[in-house]
Each structure stands twice: as C-alpha cells, then as structure tokens.
C-alpha cells in the first residue's frame, strides 16, 4: 500500500542519513532509499508487509544443524544432494533447520573468500539442490559481508579501474595510524596491490585473499541488497552476517563495532522484515561478551546473536570439573527480550574462540585450557595483541576430542562428558545449533590439516557416505553411540514448552561440581530443572535445594525415572544430566 511505502521509505532514509552523516554521497538520500526498496521489490503498487515488533519466529522445536555442503560425500552424486539424503535418513524428527556454510565459488578459507555470490559452487551442486533442501528445512545462508575473494570479478575490476566493483574496496596508506585497529589475525593489514591507477593498499582484516569492502560507497550496500533478495528467492530463512563487526572502517579508530556498522544492520533488518517478517538475522561477532550483546540493539538489529562465550566456558567447566566461571557468566547474561534470542552452540566449523572468554576466564585459566587442548591433539591459532604480542585466539580441535578427558589427562568418560555438554547446551535459553561433526562424534582430522596446512581443517572432515553409514550402523562405534544419544536428547528437547528459546531461566546454586538451571514455559505450566554432574565422581543433589513442589509429579525426562521430592537426595553418575519436569509430554 502507498501509505506503507511512504512510511517505509522515510524509515530507510533515516537509516541512510545516520550511516552516511559524515560521507559526501553522489545522490540524495531519498533517491538511494528508493533504489534500495526497488532492489528488494518493495514497490508502491504492492502490499508491503508490516512486521510486528517483539515477535518470536522460533520455538522449542527449532534445532539448527551446521554443516558444509560436502561434509558427507558420495562419489556418484553432487554433495548437496547427498546431504539431503543423509538428513532424511539420519536426522528425521531431530533437525528442522540447516546452516549450509558458504556454498559459493571461493578461493580460500573453506568458502569464506567468495568469488561469486550469485552462483553455487559446481563441485557442490546447483541452485535446484539448494531449493530442494529448502522444501524440508529452514535454511541459513551466510552473507559474507565484510570481504570477498581477491579473485572475484569485482576485485579484478578494482585493479583495472573500471566496471562493477572498481570502487568497492577499502584502501588506506601505510603512513596512516593503524595502531588501534583490532586484528583477528597476525598477517599484515594492508595488501600492496598494483592497479591501473597506480599502487594501492587494500585493507584485509583476515587475509590477503580476503579484501575488505568499502561501505562508505552506497553502491556496496545496493550490491548486497541484490544478493539478499536473490537468497530470499532461493529459500533463505536465516541470514548469518559473517564477520559483520568489522564492516565499517575509520582510520584512527579500532575499526570494530562502529556505530555505522550497527546502523547498516538496522537498515538490512528493516528491508528484510518488510519482505518477510519471518526471516531471521543472526550476527556472527566473535568478540568479548559485552560487545557481542550490543548487536541485539533495541530488538531492531540481530534477531539472534551467537553465544560465543559458551564454548570456551563449557569446555573449561568439563575439563576442570568446576563450573564457577560458567555459572557466573550465565547469571550475568540478560534475558533476551521477545523478538530476540541467543544462538547457542558449542562446536562449529571454526575452533573454540578465546576472545569471548576474555574478562570471564583469567589468563591462568586460559593457559591451562590451551595446554589441555594441546595435550588432546588440538592446534592453536594466534592473533596480535594491541602491544604486538601474540595471544591465543582460537583452539582448533573437534569437540569430541576436546572432551576426551580432564586437565589430568584422557579417561574413560569421553562419550558421557560429550553428551553432558550437549545436554547443558540444548536446555539453555536460546536456539541450539549442532555441528554435524558433533552429531557424528567425529575425531580430529590430522590428515586434512597436513594436506591444507590450516589448523581449522582439523574439525572439517569430509565423510565418505558408505564409510559413515557402516560406522553409524555399528552399535560399538563411537559414531553410533553419539548419534543415538544425541538424537534422543534432541527429540526430548523439542517436546518441552519450557525449552522455548525465550522461556524463563534462572541459574541454580548447587556448588561448583553441579551445574544447574531452571526453565519455565511461557504459559508457566511446565517447570524444568536441568542439573548436570560436571565431574568424573558421583555427586549428590539435595532435593530441598531445588525446591520441587510437593503437589506436582516429577520425572527425569532422560531416564524416565520418577523423582520423589521428599526422598532427600538424588545421586548423579559422572557426567549425568537430568531434566526434571513436572509435565511429561510423552
């Protein structure tokens, strides 16, 4: 409707005025707003959806699986087709959403150095394979928004000085004061590049094959809105904004989390939600916890933020047998208001990030954690600190191997400890994300590290489908055991209203060897106590400490055992988790 169009146009113009307040534009803001709305096909003569603020477009049944398009391969067909077959066979009634990591043509970083945003990597399949997956699963697409490949047509045009992309990239001078710039890598920030217009120094936050965009050019925003519209047409229901914290650069600043970055996200949110209010934006901001929380905005930026502090804190908890740091962090986390939620994960295609643990774990704790992971076969990735020192940035290891033991060394509790970690994560406030290699209990892939020379390859195994099926069908394999127990946990979780991502959550005080929290459904009918023994010794729970209401009937949803609140104590085996509920959906 025209009235809605005018209102939206005014809102988009307001975003643009805030973004480009200090930039001399080559066109009026109103004209740019019209171009953006036209790109998103938000026309005056069409009905424009009015999104409802603070609406939750998710519930307890949502589980996102994180996977590469070729994590499972059959030599006789395209990997995206094989992935679909795998999901239909082994993830029935568990997974309903899938994050397919970048499936576009790329030159490095396993997909995050995109050559062409508009096509599917031929080695994986084609758009029809993606849209087929979208028929059964809500798909998360990566929007690699900070940088693209140095082999892209856009960057080639930058070198030539003509054509689309010729003015898309951020440059600086080696003489500029870049001392405050926050770096996630130790490679030189500026890439010396010979162009038809002379030598230029291109900004490269991550690597010299990943050249950063210049969002002060509004044509870059227009190009990305075209990409977003294409992805919506191809079935995207969730957008993951990769490395978005680095999007806006101002020489002389930290060039991270700048106000303009937040405003660009708000602009994207406004345009996307007027196309389809049910599409979710998740920001991938691997930064300290306090900074990460700012990406919720006032429920007008990201719908969800990655809970990056959870993986290092939970792994630390389980290898030390002490939950004090995890508990303190959880108590400090603000409840996500309606219309926003956390995206919980404990393993992904990347490693276990340590920056989000800064201020939560002290240097000695981080050092012990790093040393323990190295003993378990893990690799360490480093970054440069503000003083030029190298600091551990990320632990590269599969979660299954990260939990093979404690600080005392490997032990016999690997599978139980691994399942305990997921039982804690699956019950927490937020939407759970499960990495395919966690679902499969995959171990460190040293051969791939040797082949690629990249530490992160340790956690990016490509399974041959026939080999994997044989292991999953063997009741004695770690892969069968893990998939069976993980699937059981997920199915139970999906049936509990108290596990709605926005259901009430309180942290329980049960000492440092037991980690627990209480969840209550939005209608207040279901109470659920999640309690985990995070040690390799049996622990007792004093039932009066968790205050089970005597008039209710209580049951552990995992073991199916009834819990008598008057019985005094509940004994928990090493790494056992109980989900004690006053309702039994079964």
**pLDDT one-digit tens code per residue, 30-74:** 999 999 999 999 987 777 888 998 999 999 999 999 999 999 999
Q: Is 462 annotated as a binding residue?
A: no
**For residue 567, is it within any domain?**
yes
Q: Is 136 annotated as a binding residue?
A: no
**For residue 254, is it within any domain?**
no
**For residue 517, is it within any domain?**
yes
Which parts of the chain register pLDDT below 70?
1-3, 384-388, 550-551, 565-566, 586
**Angstrom distances, CA of residue 237 to CA of 23, 61, 138, 230:** 33, 16, 6, 12
**Angstrom distances, CA of residue 334 to CA of 220, 289, 330, 341, 373:** 35, 11, 9, 11, 30
**For residue 532, is it within any domain?**
yes
What is residue 496's predicted lDDT score, i.e. its pLDDT?
98
**Residue 269 phi, psi dihedral angles, 5° rounding:** -60, -45
What is residue 103's predicted lDDT score, i.e. its pLDDT?
98
DSSP 444: P
Q: How many domains, the chain?
A: 1
The CA distance from 99 to 381, in Å, is 24
**For residue 355, is it within any domain?**
no
Q: Read off the CATH number of the domain in which 542 is found.
A: 2.60.40.1180
* Cβ neighbours of 584 (radius 10 Å): 14
Query: Of 62, 129, 242, 401, which one is the catalytic site residue?
Result: 242
The CA distance from 276 to 41, in Å, is 12
Q: What is the DSSP string of 144-160?
A: E-SEEETTSHHHHHHHH
The CA distance from 63 to 53, in Å, is 23
* Cβ neighbours of 177 (radius 10 Å): 11
pLDDT tens digit string along 225-264? 999 999 999 999 999 999 999 999 999 999 999 999 999 9
**For residue 538, is it within any domain?**
yes
Displacement of CA 2 from its chain's centroid (Å)? 38
Q: Is 241 annotated as a binding residue?
A: yes
The CA distance from 356 to 346, in Å, is 13
The CA distance from 377 to 379, in Å, is 7
The CA distance from 453 to 434, in Å, is 26
Range of the domain at 513: 504-581
Q: Is 456 annotated as a binding residue?
A: yes
* Burial state string for 524-546 with b = 16 or more CB within 10 A and e = fewer than 16: eebbbbbbbbbbbeebebebeeb
What is residue 1's predicted lDDT score, i.e. its pLDDT?
41
Helix (H) or strand (E) holding 62: none
What is residue 253's predicted lDDT score, i.e. its pLDDT?
97
242 in catalytic set = yes
pLDDT tens digit string along 11-35? 999 999 999 999 999 999 999 999 9
Q: Is 41 annotated as a binding residue?
A: no
**For residue 240, is it within any domain?**
no
Q: Is 36 annotated as a binding residue?
A: no
**For residue 557, is it within any domain?**
yes
């Amino acid at each position: 409707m025209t009235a809605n169009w005018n209102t939206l146009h005014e809102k988009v113009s307001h975003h643009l005025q805030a973004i480009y307040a200090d930039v001399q534009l080559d066109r009026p803001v109103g004209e740019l707003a019209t171009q953006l709305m036209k790109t998103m096909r938000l026309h005056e003569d069409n009905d424009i959806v009015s999104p409802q603020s603070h609406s939750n477009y998710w519930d307890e049944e949502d589980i996102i699986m994180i996977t590469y398009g070729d994590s499972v391969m059959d030599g006789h067909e395209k990997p995206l087709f094989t992935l679909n077959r795998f999901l239909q066979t082994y993830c029935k009634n568990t997974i309903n959403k899938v994050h397919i990591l970048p499936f576009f043509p790329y030159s490095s970083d396993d997909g995050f150095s995109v050559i062409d945003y508009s096509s599917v990597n031929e080695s994986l399949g084609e758009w029809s394979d993606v849209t087929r997956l979208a028929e059964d699963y809500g798909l998360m697409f990566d929007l690699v928004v900070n940088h693209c490949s140095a082999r892209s047509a856009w960057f080639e045009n930058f070198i030539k000085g003509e054509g689309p992309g010729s003015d898309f990239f951020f440059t600086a001078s080696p003489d500029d004061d870049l001392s405050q710039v926050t770096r996630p890598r130790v490679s030189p920030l500026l890439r010396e590049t010979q162009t038809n217009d002379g030598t230029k120094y291109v900004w490269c936050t991550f690597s010299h094959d990943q050249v950063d965009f210049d969002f002060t050019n509004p044509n870059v925003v227009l190009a990305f809105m075209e990409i977003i519209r294409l992805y919506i047409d191809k079935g995207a229901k969730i957008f993951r904004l990769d490395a978005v914290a680095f999007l806006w650069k101002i020489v002389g600043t930290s060039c991270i989390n700048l106000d303009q970055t937040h405003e660009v996200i708000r602009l994207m949110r406004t345009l996307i939600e007027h196309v389809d209010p049910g599409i979710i934006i998740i920001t991938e901001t691997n930064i300290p916890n306090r900074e990460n929380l700012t990406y919720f905005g006032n429920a007008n930026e990201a719908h969800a933020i990655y809970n990056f502090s959870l993986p290092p804190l939970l792994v630390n908890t389980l290898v030390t047998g002490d939950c004090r740091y995890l508990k303190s962090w959880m108590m400090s986390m603000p409840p996500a208001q309606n219309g926003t939620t956390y995206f919980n994960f404990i393993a992904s295609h990347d490693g276990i990030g340590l920056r989000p643990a800064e201020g939560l774990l002290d240097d000695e704790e981080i050092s012990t954690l790093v040393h323990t992971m190295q003993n378990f076969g893990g690799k360490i990735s480093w970054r440069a600190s503000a003083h030029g020192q190298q600091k551990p940035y990320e632990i590269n290891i599969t979660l299954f191997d990260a939990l093979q033991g404690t600080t005392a060394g490997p032990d016999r509790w690997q599978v139980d400890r691994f399942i305990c970690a997921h039982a804690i994560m699956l019950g927490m406030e937020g939407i759970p994300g499960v990495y395919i290699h966690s679902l499969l209990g995959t171990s460190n892939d040293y051969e791939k590290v040797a082949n690629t020379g990249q530490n992160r390859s340790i956690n990016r195994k490509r399974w041959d489908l026939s080999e994997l099926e044989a292991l999953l069908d063997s009741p004695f394999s770690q892969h069968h055991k893990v998939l069976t127990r993980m699937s059981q946990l997920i199915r139970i979780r999906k049936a509990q209203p108290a596990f709605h991502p926005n259901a009430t959550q309180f942290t329980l005080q049960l000492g440092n060897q037991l980690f627990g929290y209480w969840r209550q459904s939005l209608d207040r009918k279901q109470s659920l106590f999640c309690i985990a023994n995070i040690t390799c010794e049996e622990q007792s729970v004093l039932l009066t400490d968790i205050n089970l209401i005597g008039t209710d009937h209580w049951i552990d949803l995992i073991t199916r055992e009834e819990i008598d609140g008057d019985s005094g104590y509940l004994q928990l085996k090493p790494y056992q988790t109980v989900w004690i509920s006053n309702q039994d959906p079964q």
